[in-house]
Amino acid sequence: MAGIILVLFLVLKMHASNVYDTSFAYDLEQMNGAEAMTPFSLQTEDGFASELVASPSNVNTDQLALQEDGERALLFNLKSNDAVYGRGIYDQIYPASITKVMTALLAVKYGNMADVVVMQESDFALEDGAQTSDLQVGDQVTMDQLLHLMLVYSANDAAMAIARQVGGDTGTFVSMMNEEALSLGMTATHFINPHGLHDDNHYTSVYDIYLMMWAAYEYPAFSEASSMKSYEFTVTGADGQQRALYETSTDEYLDGTYSLPSGITIMASKTGTTNEAGSCLALVVQNGSGVPYIAVVTGASTKDILYGDMGSLLGLANGT
């Protein structure tokens, strides 16, 4: 089996330079002829991802009953690499704006935060009702400002501008997203866009969100921006005039709408909401003893259910 694993990763490396056709769903196992290799079997191979949490799909579900059948969730202890809780963590789900964690990861990994980007009409060419910032066509903004807008306010126009700046065009950037997903072992993920607005072929799993969130958290620029309650900055318009903009976090723990369990501190956060994905939240937190955890809840029908179940999940991090 060890030889097969080596071949699998060599194949992944060979494909890392290709541009993928994102018009259809990507199937890692079919591409590699590895039908028998489940994510769990790969994790538990000797020498493979020894610093990652290996877990079956469901763990300790008797300790916490989520309110809705469609919810999926996990709580992983990042110090001991233990799965504290898991429910359907390998099931296919829609990530909504949690997608922007990958966009942010590529931005901080390959972009220059000091670069100035001029907003274009294509950055705002989104479906009706899509969340956008108060930026306008012709505005000059830095990559750092775009990163903050995308992570604090979940601005879809900021995600589009980042994709254009880092990838040269959106299609190339999406290929980069899928390549990065492969390199992280995200075997249940396929991206179609940099923002997470719904597409049937844009999907992931709760376990893959953990992999992506943990990889992004290694970059201080990501954790700093994604844990902010609000963001205020100055932008230069097409007319050369400056104006101040202010956005608040879409995380309703950070904005004070909901209360965290005692002793829990948010170190990084990303929300996501679409009709198809439901309300979703991915967090890196520390408990009162400074032990780090990743917590993910997806598929809640309301914010009350999302934050109620996330609160119960985070309570397990304190042993309550």
Residues 6+ apart with CB under 8 A from 115: 142, 143, 165
Sequence-distant (≥ 6) Cβ neighbours of residue 57 within 8 angstroms: 40, 86, 87, 88, 89, 90, 91
Whole-Å CA distances, 196 to 51, 132, 274: 28, 13, 9
Task: State the catalytic residue, choosing from 55, 57, 97, 249.
Answer: 97
**Residue 36 C-beta-side C-alpha neighbours within 13 Å:** 3
* C-alpha distance from residue 120 to each of 236, 237, 238 (Å): 14, 12, 11
CA torsion 126-90-223-150 (nearest 10°) is 0
Q: Which of 55, 57, 100, 279 is catalytic?
A: 100
DSSP 230-298: EEEEEEE-TTS-EEEEEEE-S-TTTTTSSPPPTT-EEEEEEEEEETTTEEEEEEEEE-TT--EEEEEEE
Q: 């997903």: which residue's tokens?
A: 181
| DSSP H stretches of helix in 73-219 | 100-110, 143-152, 156-167, 170-183, 206-217
122 noted as active-site residue: no
Pull the structure tokens for residue 59.
């763990």
Catalytic residue among 154, 205, 226, 249: 154
303 catalytic? Reply is no
| 100 noted as active-site residue | yes
Active site (catalytic) residues: 97, 100, 154
